[in-house]
């Protein structure tokens, strides 16, 4: 099988994020970068498919020079090769367009994306990529089976699960629960640096980045207001006071 | 809670800024490695530490191993972790590639080992023992032993152990009594008892491979009659099947801490069917075992520093959120309370911990660097690094072990009453780290080794090399104005150390060996303080250089370097002066403890 897994490098979930003074983005100095956790599920599923059916896994990532680290991590997990698109940043459409341009020549049987990236949280790239490639997409997949040239994917919805059968090739966006991503191994790490990674810029892919959306301003969430302790000795009165505050101040009941 | 247990930033600092681990890749033996790989090793180990090991830290303490019929039951994460260590190549990390290893430099392998030990010390021991035991077979075993045991140990299916201690032979290995009787079949029939054997039976693996010291029947008394054997729990039968090898677990000790790893009492040959396979030549067992013991000693130092690291970060985090009191200058009781980290005395306790943790880690990294350089160099140079490693091993084991207890204690103190209760991990760290001055040679044994053997070995050449290394660092520090006063302090301390050493060796020459060694433990303590001061000065050099121009540095980096400088200054201001008291005592040498009669301890 010819499998593609798209990965994005994002700030570590534990990194302390500071918004730039001008609100144009986040301060990147001193941040630790990791593979987007939802993309890890995609990489793991890709590797499992390969191990079962043979073939190879190509990792595709768009981002600045440091994104290469994330590609190498996926190669250390067991993928065969990578494509690094050296466009620092773009909106969702242009990101998908760049990925589409890089993937087109590969003719994959299946493409994995994370259901969303934990930095921008927009959850659009997988679907736009499918659209641009003219492929079906199943989003938020927690279980996948490939049989008889079809992909059978399970996707949880409110109170139920959908079993969706899709023709192949298709795009799958991975949700938590799909699998347990493996750790890179030492032999994998040693092999990773010898695996080929194609580095391509926008020109090499024959695209121009023309933003369709832009971030106008980024602001940190408001600071949490201090809590309130209800005083008094009478539990009934305290409960009544709590109910009143929940209704009138917090407006949650 | 953020649950930080070790600083990745500090590990990178040691690897790249202090010890330049990447420079090892210039040697053909390490040429396949690169910084990119070292980074990935660090990141992967951090994930395993965070996701797999740290979450079971408390559970493994509260549900210690238990004897279930004929075997010991351990926490299920042990199997998961050992499998991961096998598949991930962590057990075979430093072994040569031709043996299926990754040929990773020890100074890089220090990173995963430190991370795992900080995340969950008990769990990390299963890996370390297996790695070191397989290394011992690889160094001295026959091809048959290598082929039979190493692959299954590397894969994490079989556990390795070191089986030395017996009821009557703990620190005194010369008194080992386990007997190996030769047979015509090539193997030996083993009979005897072993106690305190870590990991020697558990259900987290399919078999256990004990590296056991014993006496071949009729061997001379003392250490010259000790041989090394591979004695598996299950031996490999004629058709490759595993056959019970007549080793019974006769007891499981209940420990103060480090409870996630069983230490057992073993009985060999109750049915006269326990087979042992000789490693190397007869009667050379102790010399072979020293390879594993020395590696284990550095790992113990690292384990002690790692637990102290976890305790430091737990107490640091608490001090940042716990509100108590006001500034000394604030007279208005209506003002809000401040986080306790704002109090000078709390900062002192944090600085103490950081100085112990990062000073110890630096010394251990230094030892691993010598070990790597000894592998890739030849002749005089090789001997130089081997001697330095040999000299410093007791220090790198004992300073972190003893100081970790005090360091964790200060972390516990920061949490006050909460530190004493089990809702926070401090009390566990305090119990866990108490083992370190005991196992792998007590501090007393290491004091005697350092003073009674190491400082005079090769006519004092090892000590001379050490003095040169410290002088080199002093020289580099003197080139930086900010470090000159500290460089001078270390120079003075080093001279005094030489004075004390000469004084003690004179006593030895006079023939009074008992008085000479009576305070060897204090000598080791003194040596430790000065060695760690050296390591702090060594770290201060790149820190000071980085602080000269902070333009390109991130805020977090600048804070890191300033923190380093204060911790360095703390060590020279608060810890190094403690050497003076020790020097005074050591120069007195009145033989007080030798003269004191056992009978006077009547009350």
Does residue B595 sit within a domain? no
Chain B residue numbers with beta carbons less than 8 Å from the beta carbon of A69 are 36, 39-40
- Nearest-CA distance from B66 to chain A in Å? 30
Chain A residue numbers with beta carbons less than 8 Å from the beta carbon of B35 are none
The tens digit of pLDDT for each residue in A152-209 reads 999 999 999 999 999 999 999 999 999 999 999 999 999 999 999 999 999 999 999 9
Contact assignment for B84 to A183 by CB distance below 8 Å? yes
- Is residue B429 domain-shared with residue B563, that is, in the same domain? yes
**B290: nearest Cα among B355, B201, B226, B231:** B226
Contact assignment for A14 to B32 by CB distance below 8 Å? no
- Is residue B279 domain-shared with residue B405, that is, in the same domain? no
Strand-pairing partners, residue B179, are B191, B215
Per-residue pLDDT, averaged over B43-63, amounts to 97
Average pLDDT, chain B: 96
Q: What is the CATH number of the domain that holds B504?
A: 1.20.140.10
Does residue B3 sit within a domain? no
- Is residue B200 domain-shared with residue B176, that is, in the same domain? yes
Mutate to test the interface with A, among B43, B131, B557 (most CBs of A within 10 A): B43
* Cα–Cα distance measured from residue B36 to residue B55, given in angstroms and rounded to the nearest whole number: 28
The tens digit of pLDDT for each residue in A87-144 reads 999 999 999 999 999 999 899 999 999 999 999 999 999 999 999 999 999 999 999 9
| A122 close contact with B: CB closer than 8 A | no
Chain B residue numbers with beta carbons less than 8 Å from the beta carbon of A183 are 44, 47-48, 84, 88
- Is residue B400 domain-shared with residue B342, that is, in the same domain? yes
- Is residue B264 domain-shared with residue B345, that is, in the same domain? no
Instruction: Give the phi and the psi of residue B66 in degrees, each rounded to 5.
Output: -135, 155
Does residue B289 sit within a domain? no
Query: Which of B107, B124, B154 is the last residue in one of the domains?
Result: B154
- Is residue B66 domain-shared with residue B136, that is, in the same domain? yes
Please give the positions of B annotated as active site: 440
* The model's pTM: 0.94
pLDDT given for residue B2 in this prediction: 57
**B350: nearest Cα among B399, B402, B410:** B410
Contact assignment for B36 to A32 by CB distance below 8 Å? no
Per-residue pLDDT, averaged over B541-567, amounts to 95
Cis peptide bond prior to A169, omega within 30° of 0: yes
Q: How many CB pairs under 8 A join A and B?
A: 53
Q: Which residue of B has its CA nearest to A35?
A: B43
* Cα–Cα distance measured from residue B595 to residue B515, given in angstroms and rounded to the nearest whole number: 9
- Is residue B534 domain-shared with residue B497, that is, in the same domain? yes
- SS3 assignment, position B37: helix
| A30 close contact with B: CB closer than 8 A | yes
| A226 pLDDT higher than 80 | no
- Is residue B12 domain-shared with residue B131, that is, in the same domain? yes
The tens digit of pLDDT for each residue in B226-257 reads 999 999 999 999 899 999 999 999 999 999 99
- Is residue B528 domain-shared with residue B440, that is, in the same domain? yes
Measured CA to CA in angstroms, residue A205 lies from A58, A97, A109, B124 at distances of 17, 10, 21, 48
Chain A residue numbers with beta carbons less than 8 Å from the beta carbon of B88 are 183-186
pLDDT given for residue B1 in this prediction: 45
Sequence ranges of the domains in chain A: 2-205, 226-253
Dihedral sign for Cα atoms in the order A92, A93, A95, A100: positive
Q: Could you tell me what percent of chain B has a pLDDT over 70?
A: 100
- Is residue B407 domain-shared with residue B496, that is, in the same domain? yes
Q: Does ipTM come in above 0.85?
A: yes
- Is residue B75 domain-shared with residue B206, that is, in the same domain? no
Contact assignment for A189 to B34 by CB distance below 8 Å? no
Residues of chain B whose beta carbon is less than 8 angstroms from a beta carbon of chain A are: 2, 8, 32-34, 36-37, 39-41, 43-44, 47-48, 84, 87-90, 92-93, 102, 104, 554-557
Domain containing B166 equals 160-283
Strand pairing report for B226-232 and B207-216: antiparallel
> What domain count does chain B have?
3
Does residue B597 sit within a domain? no
pLDDT given for residue A230 in this prediction: 87
The tens digit of pLDDT for each residue in B140-170 reads 999 999 999 999 999 999 999 999 999 999 8
CATH 3.40.50.620 fits A2-205, yes or no: yes
Does residue B599 sit within a domain? no
- Is residue B278 domain-shared with residue B252, that is, in the same domain? yes
Find the CB nearest B88 among A29, A32, A183.
A183
The tens digit of pLDDT for each residue in B5-18 reads 999 999 999 999 99
Chain A residue numbers with beta carbons less than 8 Å from the beta carbon of B34 are 193
Strand segments (E) across B107-206: 158-163, 179-182, 188-198
| A227 close contact with B: CB closer than 8 A | no
Does residue B227 sit within a domain? yes
């Amino acid at each position: 099988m010819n499998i593609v897994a798209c990965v994005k490098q994002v700030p570590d979930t534990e990194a302390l994020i500071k918004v730039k003074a001008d609100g144009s983005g986040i301060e990147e100095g001193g941040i630790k970068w990791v593979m987007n956790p939802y993309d890890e599920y995609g990489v793991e599923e890709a590797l499992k498919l390969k191990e079962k059916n043979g073939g190879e896994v190509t990792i595709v990532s768009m981002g600045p020079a440091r994104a290469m680290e994330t590609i190498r991590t996926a190669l250390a997990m067991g993928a065969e090769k990578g494509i690094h698109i050296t466009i620092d940043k773009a909106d969702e459409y242009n990101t998908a367009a760049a990925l589409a341009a890089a993937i087109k020549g590969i003719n994959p049987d299946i493409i994995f994306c994370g259901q969303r990236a934990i930095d921008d949280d927009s959850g659009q790239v997988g679907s736009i990529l499918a659209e641009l490639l003219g492929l079906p997409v199943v989003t938020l997949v927690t279980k996948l089976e490939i049989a008889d040239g079809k992909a059978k994917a399970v996707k949880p919805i409110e109170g139920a699960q959908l079993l969706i059968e899709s023709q192949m090739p298709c795009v799958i966006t991975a949700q938590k629960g799909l699998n347990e991503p493996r750790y890179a191994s030492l032999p994998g790490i040693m092999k990773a640096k010898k695996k080929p990674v194609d580095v391509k810029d926008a020109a090499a892919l024959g695209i121009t980045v023309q933003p369709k959306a832009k971030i106008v301003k980024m602001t940190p969430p408001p600071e949490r207001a201090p809590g309130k302790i209800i005083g008094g000795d009478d539990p009934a009165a305290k409960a009544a006071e709590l109910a009143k505050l929940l209704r009138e101040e917090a407006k949650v009941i | 809670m953020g649950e930080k247990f070790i600083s990745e930033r500090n590990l990178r600092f040691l690897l790249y800024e202090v010890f330049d681990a990447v420079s090892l890749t210039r040697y053909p033996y390490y040429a396949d490695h690169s910084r990119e790989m070292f980074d990935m090793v660090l990141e992967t180990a951090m994930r395993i530490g965070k996701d797999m090991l740290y979450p079971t830290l408390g559970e493994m303490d509260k549900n210690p191993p238990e004897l279930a019929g004929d075997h010991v039951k351990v926490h299920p994460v042990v199997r998961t972790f050992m499998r991961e260590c096998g598949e991930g190549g962590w057990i075979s990390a430093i072994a040569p590639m031709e043996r299926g290893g990754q040929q990773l430099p020890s100074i890089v392998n220090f990173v995963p080992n430190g991370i795992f030990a900080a995340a969950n010390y008990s769990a990390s021991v299963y890996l370390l023992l297996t790695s070191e035991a397989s290394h011992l077979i690889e160094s001295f075993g026959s091809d048959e032993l290598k082929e039979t045991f190493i692959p299954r140990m590397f894969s994490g299916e079989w556990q390795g152990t070191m089986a030395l201690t017996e009821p009557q032979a703990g620190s005194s290995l010369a008194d080992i009594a386990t007997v190996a009787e030769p047979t015509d079949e090539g193997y030996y029939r083993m009979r005897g008892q072993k106690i305190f054997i870590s990991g020697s039976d558990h259900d987290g693996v399919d078999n256990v491979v004990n590296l056991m010291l014993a006496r071949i029947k009729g061997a001379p008394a003392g250490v010259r009659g000790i041989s090394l054997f591979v004695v598996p729990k299950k031996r490999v039968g004629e058709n490759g099947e595993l056959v019970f090898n007549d080793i019974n677990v006769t007891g499981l000790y209940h420990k103060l801490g480090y409870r996630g790893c069983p230490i057992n009492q073993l009985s060999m040959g109750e049915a006269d069917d326990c087979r042992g396979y000789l490693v190397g030549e007869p009667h050379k067992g102790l010399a072979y075992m020293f390879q594993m013991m020395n590696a284990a000693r550095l790992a113990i130092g690292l384990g002690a520093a790692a637990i102290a690291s976890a305790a430091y970060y737990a107490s640091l985090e608490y001090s940042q959120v716990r509100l108590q009191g006001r500034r000394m200058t604030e007279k208005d009781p209506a003002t809000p309370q401040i986080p306790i980290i704002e109090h000078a005395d709390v900062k002192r306790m944090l600085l103490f911990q950081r100085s112990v943790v990062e000073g110890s880690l630096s010394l251990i990294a230094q030892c691993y660097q010598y070990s790597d350089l000894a592998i890739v160099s030849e002749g005089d140079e090789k001997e130089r690094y081997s001697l330095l490693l040999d000299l410093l091993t007791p220090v790198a084991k004992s300073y972190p072990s003893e100081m970790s207890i005090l360091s964790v204690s200060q972390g516990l103190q920061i949490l006050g009453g909460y530190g004493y209760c089990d809702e926070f991990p401090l009390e566990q760290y305090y119990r866990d780290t108490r083992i370190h001055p005991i196992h792998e040679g007590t501090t007393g044994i290491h004091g005697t080794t350092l003073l009674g053997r190491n400082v005079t070995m090769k006519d004092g050449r090892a000590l001379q090399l050490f003095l040169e290394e410290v002088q080199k660092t002093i020289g580099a520090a003197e080139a930086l104005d900010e470090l000159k006063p500290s460089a001078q302090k270390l120079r003075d301390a080093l001279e005094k150390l030489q004075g004390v050493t000469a004084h003690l060796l004179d006593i030895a020459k006079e023939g009074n060996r008992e008085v000479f060694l009576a305070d060897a433990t204090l000598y080791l303590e003194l040596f430790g303080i000065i060695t760690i001061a050296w390591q702090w000065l060594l770290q201060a050099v790149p820190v000071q250089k980085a602080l000269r121009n902070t333009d390109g540095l991130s805020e977090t980096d600048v804070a890191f370097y300033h923190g380093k400088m204060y911790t360095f200054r703390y060590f020279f201001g608060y810890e190094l002066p403690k050497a003076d008291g020790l020097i005074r005592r050591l120069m007195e040498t009145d033989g007080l403890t030798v003269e004191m009669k056992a009978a006077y301890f009547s009350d």
